[in-house]
Structure 1
Amino acid sequence: MDAYIVGGAVRDRLLGLPAGDRDWVVVGATPEEMARRGFMPVGGDFPVFLHPHTKEEYALARTERKSGRGYKGFTFHTGTDVTLEDDLCRRDLTINAIAQRGDGQLIDPLGGQSDLRQQVLRHVGDAFVEDPVRLLRLARFAARFSDFSVAPETMALARRLVAQGEVDALVPERVWREMAKGLMTAHPERMFDVLQQAGALEHILPGLAFALHETGAELARAAQAGLDLPSRFALLVRRSREPAQIGRRVRAPAVCIDYARLLPGLLHDLNEPAGTRGEATGDGQGMAGAHTHDMPAGASAVAEHNLALLSRCDAVRKPERFLALLGAIACVQPVALQQWQARLDAVRGIDAGAIAAGLKGQPEEIKHALRRARLSALVQTG
């Protein structure tokens, strides 16, 4: 029984990057032998075990044969006759198909080290076209290693994978898992550019309006600013006709869907001149019915506009979300972040409890008084 470190831990060490979790492949063992040695089985489709002490993952070396559609349409063989080279040859990219012995010696039958030096993302074999997840991973690694090019023959196989319909068998949860990782890289725009070049984007994210020079540039700025995942996702889908629906389709977390729903409207409101909106504000009053007699002349429309905007975003109850959305908008156009922070602080600083205590049993008057207090605070803030 021999064990080797494989995949990302070896690749990242060769690139001088911080080492992440180590994955091991075991050659010449059976599930029964692993169990006798104290390893805990955790694999579903094929034998994977946790080390009894380090809890690192150890997978039996395996080969795979295409037996159906999609990334689950494979039959695996994990006999003791499977060699390390057999296992490496079933992997996605050459840079992920390098193994390391316990003494540090590298086993690299597919030229992964050469591709690392040349900064090329290259498929291991023609079986690349059999698993649509490999396309997602190719695009994600292109985003993570933005200086790497995609080998022309690899892109040709990616297009073939799409043409054969394999990409249509991807399940939403797997799409989101890879997409979320790609969005949090230093160059998330590259993931969607590669998918677009392969012709896969409209299959994986139908309805997404993506243009590299527009959406891609905004995602790049979001990465530079260190924005969180919901903000980056909202920027990705904001030009689409139904941005929140795209999130639902890939089973994105509720917070990401929420940001996707709110961002386009907030951007529109920020660009809408004060005094042009006639619908009701968040507390049920339209501009015509506002109690603004105690505000300076000429300031009421601006204060009304700002209060309505804050109300539509529920900024008083969810200030962190509102500020995060403004951070996303700053990747699209200039935003007076400090000024909006001051406005938000002013509105949230109103003591609603004290107002309610002074007007016991008069809910409508409490509502109007709270609104007047918030408008006055916004007038003073500017």
Structure 2
Amino acid sequence: MQTYLVGGAVRDKLLGRAAGDHDHVVVGASPEHMLALGYKPVGKDFPVFLHPTSGEEYALARTERKTGRGYHGFAFHADAGVTLEQDLARRDLTINAIAEDARGVLTDPFGGVRDIEARVLRHVSPAFVEDPVRVLRVARFAARFAPLGFAVAPETMALMRQMVRAGEVNHLVPERVWAETRKALAEAQPSAFLRVLRDCGALAVLFPEIDALYGVPQRAEFHPEIDCGVHLELVLDQAAQLAPGDDLVGFCALTHDLGKALTPTLELPRHVGHEHRGIAPLRALAARLKVPTEHAALAELVCREHLNAHRAFELKPATLLKLLSSLDALRRPARLDSFLAACMADKRGRLGHEHDAYPQADYLREARAAAAAVDAAVFVAGGLTGPAIGKAMETARIAAIAALKANHPESGSAV
């Protein structure tokens, strides 16, 4: 029995990055042997065990064979006769097909170290085409490693295009698409995720609402990048900077402008009403991918209200309170922060505007604080009951926001 550290932990060590989970492969052992040593079985489709003390995963070396379409169309074989090289051969990318033994000696049969040095995402073998999830994984790794200069190898991109043409990605289950997308949105450069998927044709299949934004023009005086798809890429990367690792803010950024793809041609490059047109495609996308409820709900609010956030200084106090109430911001200030991060990303996601100030964020937080400071106890003590308390509180909150507005240097006089 021999054990090896494999996958991301080895790759990240070579890149000088902090490693996440430590996964191991075990060669020369049987399930019975692992159980006798105290390992706890957790694998459903193939033998995976948890170390009795560290809790880290140890999987028996295995091979796999394609038996049908989609992610589940595989048969796995694991026994003491499967070699380390055979196990590494089934992995997706060369940079993930490196093993390290207890002495630190690397086993690298597919040139993963070379590709790490060359900053290349390259498939291990032609068997890459058998698993459509790999298209999403490559795009996700591009989002993670693009800041380090990684790019997809031309021959790997060719295989991915072949998979799309063959209809393999059509068989991806929504849960896997969302799982990979969610991870990509939390990476350092999510725009690379979209670009890779678009280059291989998968974006149009998996995210037609997003793919439709590319080639749609915007007014150059407001959007020097012009193309709505390019704008979306810029917004995603701004969101990743403003809220690192936050896939909720990332999803809001991803879907905030879907309505621009539905602007009538004769109205271009203006997009009047796009914030309302975007609701239907957003709901369709969220339902299709089974997106978590909070992601879908906040994304819809960002889609509908981001223009109001941009013009916060122009809004009447009653409208500001309505905006805050729609966000449930008085009870959930963190939700307001997520909303504002997505709106700020939209404002900065334009060529030449990457460092623009966004004073609207502090103003809306101050308005929220002023409204939240209104205490119901005052009105109860004054003898009000039932709905009258709510009405009085609303009036007092509008007055509090009006006082803030009157004293704010950037705010207008509208009340």
TM-score relative to the length of structure 1: 0.88
Distance in 2 (CA, whole Å) between partners of 1:101 and 1:367 is 67
Which residue of 2 is the match for residue 377 of structure 1?
400
Instruction: Show CA shifts across 1:157-196 (max 9, x none).
Output: 0011111111111111111211111111110111121111
1:368/1:32 CA distance change after superposition, 3 Å: closer
Distance in 2 (CA, whole Å) between partners of 1:270 and 1:50 is 49
Distance in 2 (CA, whole Å) between partners of 1:17 and 1:368 is 55
1:197 aligns with 2:162: no
Deviates more, 1:114-123 or 1:49-58: 49-58
The correspondence of residues 194-343 of structure 1 with structure 2, limited to 5 A, is: 194-208=196-210, 209-211=212-214, 212-226=229-243, 228-240=246-258, 241=278, 242-270=281-309, 302-333=316-347, 334-343=358-367
CA contact (8 A) 1:61 1:83 kept: yes
CA contact (8 A) 2:312 2:320 kept: no
Deviates more, 1:309-318 or 1:108-117: 309-318
**SS at the partner of 2:345?**
coil
Which structure is larger by alpha-carbon Rg, 1 or 2?
1
1:9/1:364 CA distance change after superposition, 3 Å: closer
In structure 2, give the amino acid aligned to 1:267: H
CA contact (8 A) 2:309 2:343 kept: no
The correspondence of residues 5-20 of structure 1 with structure 2, limited to 5 A, is: 5-20=5-20
1:345 aligns with 2:369: yes
1:39/1:274 CA distance change after superposition, 3 Å: closer
Distance in 1 (CA, whole Å) between partners of 2:198 and 2:28 is 42
Instruction: Show CA shifts across 1:175-222 (max 9, x none).
Output: 121111111111011112111111111222342355442111001111
Distance in 2 (CA, whole Å) between partners of 1:113 and 1:259 is 42
In structure 2, give the amino acid aligned to 1:188: P
Q: Could you tell me how far 1:136 is from its partner in structure 2?
A: 1.0
1:144 aligns with 2:162: no
Distance in 2 (CA, whole Å) between partners of 1:207 and 1:47 is 40
Instruction: Show CA shifts across 1:218-275 (max 9, x none).
Output: 0111111125221110110112232233223222222211111110121133356999
CA contact (8 A) 1:359 1:366 kept: no
Distance in 2 (CA, whole Å) between partners of 1:317 and 1:189 is 33
TM-score relative to the length of structure 2: 0.82
Distance in 1 (CA, whole Å) between partners of 2:42 and 2:56 is 11
Instruction: Show CA shifts across 1:43-97 (max 9, x none).
Output: 1111111111211111111111110010110111113221111111110000000
Deviates more, 1:182-191 or 1:317-326: 317-326
- What's the C-alpha RMSD, in Å, of the aligned pairs? 1.9
**SS at the partner of 2:335?**
helix
Q: Number of matched residues? A: 356
**SS at the partner of 1:317?**
coil
**SS at the partner of 1:336?**
helix
Give the percent of matched residue pairs that are identical in Structure 1 and Structure 2. 46
Distance in 2 (CA, whole Å) between partners of 1:273 and 1:82 is 63
Which residue of 2 is the match for residue 26 of structure 1?
26
Distance in 1 (CA, whole Å) between partners of 2:380 and 2:341 is 34
Unmatched segments (≥5 aa) in structure 1:
276-300
Q: Could you tell me how far 1:150 is from its partner in structure 2?
A: 0.5
Distance in 2 (CA, whole Å) between partners of 1:365 and 1:11 is 63
Aligned with 1:160 (options 159, 162, 183): 162
Distance in 2 (CA, whole Å) between partners of 1:9 and 1:365 is 61
1:243/1:118 CA distance change after superposition, 3 Å: same
CA contact (8 A) 1:5 1:24 kept: yes
CA contact (8 A) 1:359 1:365 kept: no
**SS at the partner of 1:4?**
strand
The correspondence of residues 359-370 of structure 1 with structure 2, limited to 5 A, is: 359-361=383-385, 363-370=386-393
In structure 2, give the amino acid aligned to 1:3: T
Distance in 1 (CA, whole Å) between partners of 2:317 and 2:53 is 62
